[in-house]
Chains A and B, each alone.
Chain A
Amino acid sequence: MSSAAAHAEHDHAHDHAHHAHHDEGFIKKYLWSTDHKMIAMQYLFTGMAMALIGGFTVYAFRMQLAFPGMSVPGYGRVTATDYNALVTTHGSVMIFWVAMPVLIAALGNYLIPLMIGCDDMVFPRLNRLSYQLFLLSSIVLIASFYVPGGAFGGAWTSYPPLSAKAEYSLTGLGSSLWLFAVALEFAAFLLGGINFITTVMNSRAPGMKMFDVPIVVWMIIIASILFMASVGPLIAGAVMLLFDQQLGTGFFDPAKGGDPVLWQHLFWFFGHPEVYVVLLPAMGIVAEIITVFSRKKLFAYKTVLYTAIGTGVLSFFVWAHHQFIAGIDPRMANVFSVTTLLISIPVAEMVFVYIGTLYGGSIRLTTPMLWALAFIAEFLLGGVTGIFLGASGADIYFHDTYFVIAHFHYTFFPIAFIGSFAAITYWFPKMFGKMMNETWGKVHFWGTIIPFNAIFIPLFLLGARGDHRRIYDYRHFPDLMKSGMQDLRVFATLALLVLLAFQVVFLVNLFYSIFRGEKASANPWNANTLEWQAPSPPPHGNFPQGLPNVYRGPYEYSHPDRQDDYWPQTEPDAAKS
């Protein structure tokens, strides 16, 4: 870039800083902002609030499972109808209104402009609109709890004919509101994705080539592309399901020539890539943290990138492993079993690369590092238990049992919660200009990880012993009330109560530190990536000293030619400075 252009950008940055000094009203600053950092906070806090709903629903239904028929404190009696609505809400909220907004929207919005060295997203007003659509989707979902008939209870997978006809679901209005909420959420993320992808493609700092981009940014972009490529057929399906619900069409009604299994294909064609949509950003977060806190270059950056892309592409060819016994042609099951087991290879490779990054490191077990390491340890178990389900012959037994639930919680909980806690504790100083309390951070960590395992290991055992899903009272099944089984259910529930209690520690630490935490410097972790060159927190426009240029990749830690064990991307080479 010519020096004249560089000067023009520099001056423009001064203009930005100048504007930031003007007082912004409360509304403009907090509710109507187009600044990517504020929009990120909106997504983050909305996502955390929705996590409270996700947590409350699981509290209620697990209490019912542990103490069936008894009134649950803070909820009341959980009827069969309540139970189905609670599990549906839990699943839908955790995936669409917690994992996606926190990992993709909040972190993507916050980090991308900072990490690629520019002053905002390319379309700030579209960004604001995306959040508003998302907020509307949350409101529509919550509204569905209060309409006649109550919340939709057909599971987050919403299979017709149950979800298509009010006479079957008994929640005519709730079903359509749920569907509408999901559709709005999809629209918000589609728009957000276009913003992210365009920004990373076009607005990188001068000197930042493709392989100089931090892995977390790559992962969010690949995830956005995956989302965009996979959600289309489901949007089509959602329109068809809505018409079945409200207009009486028969897209999924066999009596009218429709096919319920079509919905399943449309849903899972999206549903499977979706899990990688949330996994990749979480893995990106882990990459950033383990490099910083082991002071080591990321092992095989290109391998990480290519396996992430490979996983994304392969993820489009595995979807029917959710439908092995659904009535598809059994020969198709063979094809999908093969592709499903093969996808374990790139994912395993990424995990091996992360483990390889630790080799020869100088590891500091800070709170973010503990979370990042825990992600790897726990996700490994989620990954290997997936093999039991991808192998079609074994899946005949495990399908729709608690084994499946335990498997996907060993993947989703690391993704949504361990990943989020890792990200929040790591980037908190940048976001709020304060440090979180390390001791309480570690208390929260152990108080989360230990109970987490105590909840889900019993669920593997219960699933193997026959507990099937979405059942509100196992007392109707003599074979499932054999010795020890109810004890396992109670144990898992008590572990959940401990887990939930320890989240209070996090919330207190978070809010206390925002207001009273120790002041943070620009780069408290001695990290290389560009966001640590901006002040903590960055002002409007991000880089008051001028938008940075980039001279090297993001992971030059412990370079043999340097005294310091880190080398910021924006520091010119000695010869040129």
Chain B
Amino acid sequence: MIRPIATTREMTGMPTGRLAVWWLIASEIVIFGGVLGSYLMHRIGHKEWAAASAHTNTWAGAFNTLVLLTSSLSAVLAHNAALRKDGKRAAKLLWFTILGGGIFLVVKSIEWTGEIKAGYTITANNFWSFYYTAAGLHGLHVIAGMIVMMFVAADAAKGKELQRVENAGLYWHFVDLVWIFLFPLLYIAK
């Protein structure tokens, strides 16, 4: 399929791919906003949830926050490399970002395995229902981001479609930002 002329036009001054990613992020903000809003409304009405949330593993959460922030840093560096047209370096840095996502997921799996073994399942009580749902939705977005970045990295290594490095990075920053909200709400607020 030949790229349509439509895709190359830039009446707003912003490239089409980047514009689209911003709109995608906007729609995702409303989705996560809905989840977190519902969680907050419930939390305010249920003081007893503090007891349940005391059992989340704050160290694992903090470590994961660090991991995601670092991976966002490598995404920024990947963008810089792409701007300099250094596709190979951009791809390497993207893989580092993907690795960060992978570590995040591994830590989360260990965390959840422990919690489920201790009886804190998704149906244990409504706090845990929200915990797994919110973090689970976030996790799905981490996986989606990782997959997208793999494709972008593969192209970038060949010097192709370098503008997509920035767009993938934008999405990843959003995923990071959601976690920045989730972490205090689910782990710290006790």
Contacts and interface: CB of A to CB of B under 8 A. Distances in A.
B110 interface: no
B4 A228 contact: no
Interface string A195-213: 1011101111000000000
Contacts of A233: 30-31, 33-34, 37-38
Contacts of B42: 257-259, 262
B14 A19 contact: no
B125 A256 contact: yes
Interface of A is mostly: helix
Contacts, number: 139
Interface string B1-14: 11011110111101
A325 interface: no
A121 interface: yes
Contacts of A125: 1
Contact of B35 (A15, A118, A236): A236
B137 interface: yes
B123 A247 contact: yes
B29 A250 contact: no
Nearest to A19: B2
A240 B133 contact: yes
Nearest to B27: A228
Interface stretch (B16-24, B64-72, B148-156, B173-181): B16-24
A232 B6 contact: no
A239 B4 CA distance: 36
Nearest to B29: A232
A231 interface: yes
Given A198-B19, A240-B38, A122 B27 contact: no
Contact of B34 (A16, A204, A237): A237
A118 B2 contact: no
Contacts of A247: 122-123
A294 interface: no
A198 B9 contact: no
A203 B11 contact: yes
Given A198-B23, A204-B9, A243 B129 contact: yes
Nearest to B26: A228
B46 interface: yes
A201 B5 contact: no
B189 interface: no
A469 interface: no
Contacts of A203: 5-7, 9, 11, 16
Contacts of B51: none
A186 to B, nearest CB: 10
B38 A120 contact: no
A231 B5 contact: no
Nearest to B1: A34
B41 interface: yes
Interface string A215-259: 000000000000011111111110110010001111100001111
Given A113-B6, A120-B6, A204-B9, A235 B23 contact: no
B57 interface: no
Interface in B99-143: 122-123, 125-126, 129-130, 133, 137
Contact of B30 (A9, A121, A230, A240): A230
Q: Which of B9, B29, B42, B122 has the most CB of A within 10 A?
A: B9
Interface residues of A, number: 52
Q: Which of A15, A122, A123, A124 has the most CB of B within 10 A?
A: A122
B24 A119 contact: no
A202 B10 contact: yes
B41 A124 contact: no
A543 B123 CA distance: 58
Nearest to A9: B5
A542 to B, nearest CB: 10
Given A232-B29, A237-B34, A256 B20 contact: no
A125 B1 CA distance: 9
A257 B126 contact: yes
A266 interface: yes
Nearest to B21: A194
Contacts of A256: 125-126
Contact of A266 (B12, B19, B34, B130): B34
Given A202-B19, A234-B34, 6 more contacts: A121-B6, A193-B27, A198-B16, A202-B12, A233-B37, A250-B129
Of all A-B residue pairs in the complex, the 3 with the closest CB atoms, nearest first, are: A232-B30, A233-B34, A236-B34
Interface of A: 9, 12-13, 15-16, 19, 34, 113, 118-125, 190, 193-195, 197-199, 201-204, 228-237, 239-240, 243, 247-251, 256-259, 262, 266, 547
24 contacts: A13-B5, A34-B1, A119-B6, A122-B6, A125-B1, A194-B20, A198-B23, A202-B12, A202-B16, A228-B23, A229-B26, A231-B27, A231-B31, A232-B28, A233-B30, A233-B33, A235-B31, A236-B34, A237-B34, A239-B133, A249-B126, A249-B129, A257-B126, A262-B41
Interface of B: 1-2, 4-7, 9-12, 14, 16, 19-20, 23-24, 26-35, 37-38, 41-42, 45-46, 122-123, 125-126, 129-130, 133, 137
